[in-house]
Amino acid sequence: MRRERANADRALARVAARQHGVVSAAQLAEAGIPDYTVSRRVRAGCLHRLHRGVYAVGHTKLSFEGRCMAAVLALGDQAVVSHQSAAALWGMLKPTDGAIHVTLPGDGGRRRRRGIWIHRSHSLIAGVTTRRRAIALTKPPRTLRDLHRSVPDETYRSAVRRALDLRLISSAQLRSEDELTRSELERLMLRLCRRHRLPQPEVNAHVGRYEVDFLWSQQRLIVEVDGFRHHGNRSAFEHDRARDAHLQSLGFRVLRFTQRQLTDEHSAVVAAMHALLGQSALAPNL
């Protein structure tokens, strides 16, 4: 009897280890732990019920991955983590403490269960799903498609930028509206200049044979702002470097900032600008 229990405990530990501390009732049975023993372990605090038929082993302080695993186990073999939760698993967005988003095939049924937001889709086919860290979820392109319809534009664009940085998608997989336009990038830079009391530059000024995005002629500084679509391939990379070399030969310092830097790392952008424009960093205008 003791040997059987020890074998069951080892089997349970193996399953829990690969599933972020979470197991299903079916997996408990496969490990040799019958229903009446499950109830006893719940009372003893060895198992903790998360959803019907889903348990945390040993404690309830689950990671975000553990909560995602519990959600898909609760909804069956066809369930996949999706939307904001899938984006967090891929690293496109930060994890949150809210309900886990899960998608099921079809179009009917409940929309919410405790701790789970349920989506339905007829296009949830094998080609748009995969596994990451043992958790079933939507692939990056499908995750972004779902996000586009469910989160604010700013959040969506942040996820797109991060997906590009992580090479989860290629620029060819983006629709034209997924990126900030040149005028939007210019507005971001000018807003940073105003807020942090930087001198206002000339915009789309001509230097030599090139038109540059921003020019501080007195300080001999040029700033270019780059979107990935037009600067993320080998040909564009080489052209940009040749252009920068020519401008530097004319005595200008050239800085390049990406749209992600302008939005997510603007403090570093502002610090670099203050240093090169010969200013002390000033408190921003709020």
For position 202, which CATH number holds? 3.40.960.10
Query: Is 283 domain-assigned?
Result: no
Query: Is 281 domain-assigned?
Result: no
- Residue 180 sits at φ, ψ, to 5 deg, of -70, 140
Report the domain count for the chain. 3
In sequence order, the β-bridge partners of residue 118 are 102
166 falls in which pLDDT band (50, 70, 90)?
confident
One domain, residues 141 and 205? no
One domain, residues 68 and 93? yes
One domain, residues 78 and 165? yes
Does this model's pTM top 0.85? My answer is no
One domain, residues 143 and 238? no
Full residue range of the structural domain in which residue 49 is found: 2-57
- Using DSSP, state whether 112 is helix, strand or coil: strand
Query: Is 18 domain-assigned?
Result: yes
Query: Is 286 domain-assigned?
Result: no
One domain, residues 186 and 173? no
Please state the rounded mean pLDDT for residues 251-270.
85
Query: Is 208 domain-assigned?
Result: yes
Please give the share of the chain, as a percent, with pLDDT higher than 90.
38
Query: Is 259 domain-assigned?
Result: yes
What's the CA gap between 82 and 137, in Å, rounded? Answer: 6
What's the CA gap between 181 and 225, in Å, rounded? Answer: 11
What's the CA gap between 29 and 202, in Å, rounded? Answer: 71
